[in-house]
Amino acid sequence: MVDAKDYASPVRPTWCTGCGNFGIWNALKNALADAGLAPHEVMLISGIGCGSKLPDYTTANGFLTLHGRTLAVATGARLANHGLKVICTHGDGDGYGEGGNHFVSAVRRNIGIVDIVQNNRVYGLTKGQYSPTSPHGFVTRTSPQGAIEQTFNPLAVAVAAGGTFISRGWSGDIKHLSWLMTEALGHRGYALVDVLQPCVTFNRRYSYDWLRPRVYKVQDEDVYDPGDKAAAFAKAQEWGERIPIGILYRTEDQPAYEEMVPALESGPLVRQPLHAKPLEEYQVLKQEYL
């Protein structure tokens, strides 16, 4: 029996008091315990940013990598050992900005990774510059006249790129977020969990008080069908007075990338011997050149 406390670490987070990352962190520990996964059975991979420090504060296998490269490292780790549950925790700058190409590729690939994006719509660790998910017109130190770009919509992009599990949570509802992450952990391929979280220091505009009355759970709507891609695309556009959270799209019909790789049929790569066949069989490789 795994308990969320098994993931506790003596290292104390450096996050600000009231940071949305606390909610995300607690929800993740709950979900891992609910899924019956012990700390040595998971691999937490992050990039750089406030949220990316999460593995450092958690007792579990972890790898804090480079800014933006989270999903690339995680993809290699998953292909090398699909016996471990690979989970990414990184921010919107890391995931959608610096790592944008890896994001689209991971969605298309349907690699078996749970991708938790700590989306506070601002750069926190570098002290308050606008991010890909900052709203148009957002005023920051690097956008003094307001951000000129349109806001990046990760859920719509994920639908367009052929995502198989596309969801949004919010850090103010740990119970719902824990459920969402448990569902994501049970998904067969790439699971996007975009989490709206306040940055209490650098993004006061999107505070708990702003978000709380706006979010609503799509799963509470009887008519919502998460198997309907067109509906998911429409839901992904909804923003403003009402913001949908929950599973916008899900299908379990598509195999994960690693299920399609012949070399992985005989088990996790790292558990296989260095050579797939007896050494004498490799002599045939020289014959090719005769």
Residues that bind other proteins (CB under 8 A): 11, 38-41, 43-45, 48, 53, 55-56, 58-66, 68-69, 72-81, 83-84, 101-102, 104-105, 261-264, 266, 269-270, 272-277, 279, 282-283, 285-286, 289-290
> Least distance (Å) from other proteins to the CB of residue 230?
27
Which residue, 101 or 237, is less far from other proteins as judged by CB? 101
Contact assessment for residue 117 and residue 90, using Cβ atoms and an 8 Å cutoff: yes
List CB contacts of 257: < 8 A, sequence separation 6 or more: 79, 109, 110, 111, 112, 189
Q: Which two tokens stand for residue 25?
A: 């962190």
> Least distance (Å) from other proteins to the CB of residue 281?
9
Shortest CA distance to 192 belongs to which of 79, 123, 92? Answer: 92
Instruction: Using alpha carbons only, give the angle 144, 145, 147 rounded to the nearest 5 degrees.
Output: 90
Which residue reads 């702003």 in tokens? 210
Which residue, 128 or 268, is less far from other proteins as judged by CB? 268
Q: What's the CA gap between 131 and 176, in Å, rounded?
A: 26
What is the 3-state composition of the chain as percent helix, strand, coil, each rounded to the nearest 5?
Answer: 40, 20, 40
Which residue, 10 or 240, is less far from other proteins as judged by CB? 10
Name residue 203's beta-bridge partners.
199
> Least distance (Å) from other proteins to the CB of residue 22?
18
Which residue, 76 or 213, is less far from other proteins as judged by CB? 76
Distinct helix (H) and strand (E) counts, the chain? 9, 10
> Least distance (Å) from other proteins to the CB of residue 165?
20
Which residue, 63 or 224, is less far from other proteins as judged by CB? 63
> Least distance (Å) from other proteins to the CB of residue 4?
16
What are the Cα distances from residue 233, in Å, to 55, 88, 151, 163, 189?
Answer: 32, 24, 16, 11, 19
Which residue, 60 or 215, is less far from other proteins as judged by CB? 60
> Least distance (Å) from other proteins to the CB of residue 21?
15
